[in-house]
Amino acid sequence: MQLIHPESVLQTERLVLEPIKQRHATLLYPILQDSRIYQYIPQEPPASVEMLEQRYQKLERRLSPVGDEAWLNWAVCLKLTGQYVGRVEASVLPNRNAYLAYVFGFQFWGNGYATEASQRILQLLFDDYGVTEVKSEVDTRNEASVRLLERLGFEQVEYRAAGDFFKGSPSDEYIYRKVVAIQSVEQQPNTALEPNNER
């Protein structure tokens, strides 16, 4: 998998998206300790800063272990204050399909940061990596994440009863998909898409 400017810092109107590095562990660890973030995902808060550092160090390679997938991760911070608010990740597969995921600190929910950051990553996936389809998996009980995906233009394409099992109970899942809009040369915009700052 060929990486496209993997160390480039991305920006939106309010956010800076920095490619994840080991140093981000100490910056993100505090906001990742809130158990409310993990209610509908099969993860738990990181056990220590050191464990998070080890994980982020591995992610600095930007590739899967065999090198056939791009594993792209960004730490998201506010332009105005430099406060780190969450993380966005995208996996680009050999067939040019991709998966999108995000985790934001509970205290920053409801400000549109996840929408704005995800919009920028979608632009990168479609424009730079030539991705034609992006999917995201979400627990059916996670209404906030469902609304976010729909706001980004994703459509529900599949329902999986008991698609996963974690925290002592089965998890029913929706699969959401966003497909790139094919445009003729005459229709293509001359400027990059602006992030959707609603929410």
**Domain assignment present for 197:** no
Six-digit token string for 109: 């929910």
Give the residue numbers spanning the domain of 115: 10-187
Can you list the residues of the chain whose pLDDT is less than 50?
183-199
Question: Given this model, what pLDDT does residue 104 score?
Answer: 97
Contact criterion met (CB below 8 Å) for 37 and 145 = no
**Domain assignment present for 1:** no
Six-digit token string for 143: 């209404």
**Domain assignment present for 67:** yes
As for how many domains the chain has, the answer is: 1
Question: Given this model, what pLDDT does residue 186 score?
Answer: 40
**Domain assignment present for 192:** no
**Domain assignment present for 152:** yes
**Domain assignment present for 91:** yes
Token pair 């996963």 is found at 164
Q: In the 3-class helix/strand/coil scheme, how is the chain assigned residue by residue?
A: CCCCCCCCCEECCCEEEEECCCCHHHHHCCHHHCHHHHCCCCCCCCCCHHHHHHHHHHHCCCECCCCCCEEEEEEEEECCCCCEEEEEEEEECCCCEEEEEEEECHHHCCCCHHHHHHHHHHHHHHHCCCCCEEEEEEECCCHHHHHHHHHCCCEEEEEEEEEEEECCEEEEEEEEEEECCCCCHHHCCCCCCCCCCCC
Question: Given this model, what pLDDT does residue 180 score?
Answer: 83
For position 112, which CATH number holds? Answer: 3.40.630.30
Question: Given this model, what pLDDT does residue 153 score?
Answer: 96
Question: Given this model, what pLDDT does residue 182 score?
Answer: 58
Beta-bridge mates of residue 19: 74
pTM for the predicted model, two decimal places: 0.87
Question: Given this model, what pLDDT does residue 198 score?
Answer: 34
**Domain assignment present for 193:** no
CB half-sphere exposure, 123, CA atoms < 13 A:
16
**Domain assignment present for 2:** no
